[in-house]
Amino acid sequence: GENVEQHPSTLSVQEGDSAVIKCTYSDSASNYFPWYKQELGKRPQLIIDIRSNVGEKKDQRIAVTLNKTAKHFSLHITETQPEDSAVYFCAASTIISWGKLQFGAGTQVVVTP
């Protein structure tokens, strides 16, 4: 089955700096890669996703890149703000089974003012 590895486990950045989280996956059939943000005690919320027919996608300060050949994808947050502090999860799935996501272990991002 699919295995998703996520690095780093913790990331501390100064406000205004950029943050990058990297994930690798094992199943070449995976073609849907969402990113979720989870604040303490809250539900995971989708912040951006990318499908395998796209190499990069941006939404304001957030961008995701996908390298299918190398089986890795990354989340980039620019101009970080204190409200970006949370745990971020990457995930992978196939189009056929979108309801079955394989999550990474998560990255705790701390943005210090």
Partner 1 sequence: DAGVTQSPTHLIKTRGQQVTLRCSPISGHKSVSWYQQVLGQGPQFIFQYYEKEERGRGNFPDRFSARQFPNYSSELNVNALLLGDSALYLCASRSDYTGELFFGEGSRLTVL
Rounded distance between C-alpha atoms, residue 58 and residue 61, angstroms: 8
Rounded distance between C-alpha atoms, residue 8 and residue 44, angstroms: 19
The kind and range of the H/E element at 92 are strand 86-92
**Residue closer to partner 1 (CB basis): 33 or 63:** 33
**Residue closer to partner 1 (CB basis): 18 or 97:** 97
CB of 41 vs partner 1, minimal distance in Å: 9
Quick one: which of 15, 83, 100 has its CA closest to 47?
A: 83
Binding site for partner 1 (CB under 8 A): 6, 32, 34, 36, 42-46, 49, 89, 91, 95, 97-106
Is the distance from CB of 90 to CB of 65 less than 8 angstroms?
no
Is the distance from CB of 75 to CB of 57 less than 8 angstroms?
no
**Residue closer to partner 1 (CB basis): 19 or 91:** 91
**Residue closer to partner 1 (CB basis): 73 or 89:** 89
CB of 43 vs partner 1, minimal distance in Å: 4
CB of 40 vs partner 1, minimal distance in Å: 11
The kind and range of the H/E element at 9 are none
CB of 30 vs partner 1, minimal distance in Å: 13
